Amino acid sequence: MDEEINKQEEVTENSSAEENTVNAEEQKKATEVKVETGWLNRKSKSTDKKEETKLIEKISELEANLAEQNDKYLRLFSEFDNYRKRTLKERIDLMKTASQDLIIELLPVVDDFERALKALETTHDAVKAAEGVQLIYNKYKSILARKGLEPMITQGQNFDTDFHEAITNIPAPTEDLKGKIIDEVEKGYLLNGKVIRFAKVVIGQ
Q: What is the pLDDT of residues 69-101, one digit of tens each?
A: 999 999 999 999 999 999 999 888 887 777 888
Q: What is the mean pLDDT of residues 167-187?
A: 90
155 and 201, same domain (yes or no): yes
Q: Dihedral sign for Cα 140, 142, 146, 147, please.
A: positive
Beta bridge partners of 94: none
pLDDT-above-90 percentage for the chain: 43
Report how many domains make up the chain: 2
Residue 129 lies in a domain: yes
Contact 181, 160 (CB under 8 A): no
Nearest to 153 by CA among 185, 192, 199: 199
Model-level pTM? Answer: 0.54
Domain membership of residue 64 (yes or no) is: no
Question: In this structure, what CATH number is given to the domain that contains residue 191?
Answer: 2.30.22.10
Range of the domain at 108: 99-147
- Tens digits of residue pLDDT in 126-136: 888 888 899 99
Say if 116 falls within a structural domain: yes
